[in-house]
Amino acid sequence: MGDFFQPGLITTLHRLKEGNLDRMETELEFHSRHRPISLVLPSLYSELKEKALKTIVSELQKIRYIHQIVITLGKADEKEFEHARKFFSVLPQETIIIWNDGPRIRSLYNILDKHDISAGEDGKGRSTWMAFGYVLACEKSEVIVLHDCDILSYDREFLARLCYPVVNPNLAYEFCKGYYSRVTNKMHGRVTRLFVTPLIRSLERLLGYLPFLVYLDSFRYPLAGEFSMITDLARINRIPWDWGLEIGVLSEVFRNCSLRRICQVDLTENYEHKHQELSPDDPGRGLLKMSIDIAKNLFRNLASEGIDLSESLLKTLKATYLRTAQEAITKYHDDAAINGLDFDRHEEGVAVDTFTKGIELASKAFVEDPLRIPLIPNWSRVASAIPDFLERLKNAVDDDNT
């Protein structure tokens, strides 16, 4: 039987039957005439060599309802940027590449710094923010859709389902988050399964009922990198430039949207992409760094809601999380057993120990400076401080692409 359960505060749109792609695409082509769509693709140059991005480009060539594609390219020199332009030139949509390492874009980052408006360090968050700025500068789109470029299981239905809830005006959603299963011969998604969900539920135990935590716990895959939204949200949302991007986006949407205008959608039968290393001994990389960044962002958002996160509470949180995560391991072990999946309890335990260390390091950083959490100013503030900045951004990107 299809899973039609509604798990929390936000609406869940399930994948209950197959064979809907042609109908969805026909409706999207109709609605996109009045609600044009920009697709944002954050990409490292190295991903151009991978099978996943080649498949994504091949599928995008068949899609007629996307008005504009903005590739925000990182880690590329001039020769590699030119190669990227050739690589993406096969796309039939209006396609623009933002060369984040190019001299024109770097000069814009310098202008921001001079006005005390830092866009943070290089990474997916900053690249995404710059792409949103370009879409706003073009003034052509009503909807922004974003997904990663390392999706090995990508197909047209994936994108259609991500677009549909926001593009169809009869549904009236302003933000849609994607979710999916991540299972091969084993369960994946360790950061969601063993860190984010146990951390949120531990905070609920300690702090009691908080609408913000109930909201976050309503998302079936809060770290999914896929979402769609109206362009107005891109103007007013602040986002982190580090690994806290996904939680940061959800936090801003919570502040700026009615819950009735937020949904999540099941995108695909199964999702596969590249996997990050755990890196338990290096807080500057891998899943340990990811857990630190996510926890710091979550703490800051709770503090902004008026919650007093004292040093003693954060120490208690560490112990509560450890117990909650260990209980989660048992649940996932049993789930794997009935489905005949491989399950390494030791490996899961090492992950939980690593994430516990991440909470400890994030707590220390938060106590030392609660405001030292990397958030990029929203585009409304940038336009107020530098009125012609969006025009400069559009000209810089267009010049790079001609």
Spell out, as residue ranges, where the chain has pLDDT lower than 50.
Answer: 1
Distance CA 152, CA 272 (A): 5
Is residue 6 included in any domain, yes or no?
no
The two structure tokens encoding residue 338: 């009935």
Is residue 198 included in any domain, yes or no?
yes
The domain total for the chain is: 1
Considering the entire predicted model, what is its pTM? 0.95
Residue 22 contacts residue 55 (beta carbons within 8 Å): no
- Closest of 134, 156, 164, 131 to residue 146, by C-alpha: 131
Is residue 36 included in any domain, yes or no?
yes
- Compute the C-alpha angle 241/395/230, nearest 5°: 50
105: CATH: 3.90.550.10
| Amino acid 104: pLDDT | 98
Is residue 356 included in any domain, yes or no?
yes
| Amino acid 1: pLDDT | 42
Is residue 392 included in any domain, yes or no?
yes
Residue 209 contacts residue 342 (beta carbons within 8 Å): no
Is residue 276 included in any domain, yes or no?
yes
- Segment (H or E) for 82: helix 78-88
| Amino acid 373: pLDDT | 64
Which residue(s) pair with 11 in the sheet? 263
Distance CA 60, CA 81 (A): 20
* All residues at 6 or more sequence positions from 102 whose CB lies less than 8 Å from its CB, including other chains: 78, 81, 400
Structural domain span for residue 220: 11-400
Is residue 3 included in any domain, yes or no?
no
Is residue 258 included in any domain, yes or no?
yes
* All residues at 6 or more sequence positions from 101 whose CB lies less than 8 Å from its CB, including other chains: 73, 74, 75, 76, 77, 81, 122
Which residue(s) pair with 151 in the sheet? 273
Ranges of beta strands (E only) in 217-344 are: 227-230, 239-240, 262-266
| Amino acid 358: pLDDT | 97
- Closest of 226, 248, 233, 250 to residue 178, by C-alpha: 226
